[in-house]
Structure 1
Amino acid sequence: MPKKILFVFLILFIFNPLQAQESQRKNSKIRKIDLATPLLARKLIDAPTANTLPRGSFDFDLRVYPQGGLFGAVDIGLTSRFMLGVSYGAANLFGEGGVNWNKRVEFMAKYKVVKESYGLPAISIGFDTQGAGAFDDSLRRYTIKSKGFFVAFSKGYLSGTTPLDFHLGANYSLENKDGDKSPSFFVGTELRFRQDLAWVLEYDLALNDNKSSSPYGKGRGYLNTGLRWIFSEILNLEIDLKNLLVNRKNSKSFSRELRIIYLEYF
């Protein structure tokens, strides 16, 4: 199953951009994508992209997840290529019982090594310790492991007049107390339409979360999708459907999450 899904994404990554490039050649009136726009996602849902914040800007990324969970991240664009971020959250913040605060503040850093051009994708390297979902004290990991060290590739095209972005990457998580130290890979795409809506799809092979002894991954990988309402360049609202392949052993269905992204400038 993971190999088939990855194959489909790779075909889309390679074949659709070729069609988009041919369309651009035939129609000189189509404008190039603004590579500096803050509308370019720095993270699809859980998968990082090669995009970075504009210089002198910062954003708040707030997420509500199952089990009454909430976490927020603050990212700062120090230059047009380099951004830093911190994040913190808790499970069972809403509802009854005690609040399970995360044990530590998490950090993120990303540097764009190669800027996107007509022939080349943007390439970024980074480090991110923020996972998704609740934190498991016994295994020292999040429900969905953090990406850890990663490299991401991103390329934007115009399919007709519709912006279409493709992303892929590899990562090595430091959350390996469960004994699974394998590197992993992720792919995704974003389609923006009607100027104010974007559809997001991503797939993480989760090769570092597929051991039979683990209480989490089943070996199917994590398939997520979401719909983002671009209210303005500084405010995005998003609804995500995660774990569509029901990859966790203690889950019977996918999960629903709410995300709010607010961007501002210094």
Structure 2
Amino acid sequence: MSHKSFVKMLILLSIFSISAGAQNIEAVKSISIIDCPSAATLERGSFLGVLYMYNNGGMLGYLDVGVTNRMMFGISYGGTNLIGSGSVDWNPQVAVNIRYRLIDEALAFPAIAVGYDGQGFGRYIDSLERYEAKSKGLYAVASKSFNFLGTLAFHGGINYSFERKDNDKDLNAFIGVEKSINTELSLFAEYDLAMNDNTGKSIGKGNGYLNAAIKWTFQKKLQIDFIWKNILKNNSMVDGSSREIRISYIEYF
């Protein structure tokens, strides 16, 4: 691990050290920060449908189901150039994700979950057998919420992606934060250190992936995310950052 990567890992550990004595408000509800997972899971008997619209005419559909109050399972599929002219470039396969919350959030301890997610983001690059933003693969994540002018939550995790044809097989880490503005609006930000996307044939420039979003929730069922991605312009195959929209709807059996 490089000196730069080591410093980034220290930042991640520092966030959770600071949070140890803070006051708990409620368990984290958002199952994802933006692209990175949180330690939350869907309630038993609920299902979540998601339509994600991104650059290059891309669209991605998700269906997640709460199997138990600790376990959720889902599938996703999509492609690029669905909107516009020319042929559609479909993703090579349906992706599967599964998550299990090992430990519930307590007053001075975060919720901890483990899982697998085979869905990456952006265009699928056939020559490298990977997405522009690699899928998380196997991961472990911790989430902790606090009472600070509403809900304030921190997230952090590690992951190992199986998209490795670019010869960058490093373990990766990510952090995130969310802050409620009122009962409908929340701000989210995440930073994927991209330690597995900065050497060999990787497309990352070593800056990591910084994303931000405003999430607008209606009646606790419908949510629209306005997302700003690749803020640090880390992706060498994309010209600058991108503006994306995600629509989510949750219902119960």
TM over 0.5: same fold?
A: yes
- 1:102 pairs with 2:91: yes
Q: Which amino acid aligns with 1:201?
A: A
List alignment gaps of at least 5 residues for structure 2.
Answer: none
Whether contact under 8 Å (2:48, 2:248) holds in the other structure is: yes
For residues 1-266 of structure 1, the aligned pairs below 5 Å read 11-15=14-18, 18=21, 20-21=22-23, 32-33=25-26, 35=27, 40-159=29-148, 161-214=149-202, 216-266=203-253
**Deviations 1:178-214 (CA, angstroms, capped at 9, x unpaired):** 1111110000011012111010010001111101533
Q: Which amino acid aligns with 2:18?
A: F
Q: CA separation in 1, counterparts of 2:137 and 2:186?
A: 27
Whether contact under 8 Å (2:20, 2:108) holds in the other structure is: no
Q: CA separation in 1, counterparts of 2:161 and 2:12?
A: 22
Q: Compute the displacement of 1:12 (Å).
A: 4.5
**Deviations 1:125-158 (CA, angstroms, capped at 9, x unpaired):** 1000000011111111111000000000011111
**Deviations 1:103-131 (CA, angstroms, capped at 9, x unpaired):** 11000000011111112111101000000
Q: Which amino acid aligns with 2:221?
A: I
Cα gap change, 1:2 to 1:63, in 2 (>3 Å): farther
Whether contact under 8 Å (2:116, 2:136) holds in the other structure is: yes
Count of equivalent residues: 250
Q: CA separation in 2, counterparts of 1:76 and 1:195?
A: 25
**Deviations 1:145-175 (CA, angstroms, capped at 9, x unpaired):** 000000000111111x411111000000000
Q: CA separation in 2, counterparts of 1:53 and 1:181?
A: 31
Q: Which amino acid aligns with 1:244?
A: I
Determine helix, strand or coil for the equivalent of 2:18. Answer: helix
Q: Compute the displacement of 1:8 (Å).
A: 5.4
Q: Which amino acid aligns with 1:67?
A: N
Q: CA separation in 1, counterparts of 2:10 and 2:188?
A: 18
Q: CA separation in 2, counterparts of 1:227 and 1:13?
A: 24
Q: CA separation in 1, counterparts of 2:227 and 2:7?
A: 23
Q: CA separation in 2, counterparts of 1:61 and 1:113?
A: 25
Determine helix, strand or coil for the equivalent of 2:239. Answer: coil
TM-score by length of 1: 0.89
Q: Compute the displacement of 1:85 (Å).
A: 0.3
Determine helix, strand or coil for the equivalent of 1:15. Answer: helix
Q: Let me know the Cα RMSD of the aligned residues.
A: 1.8
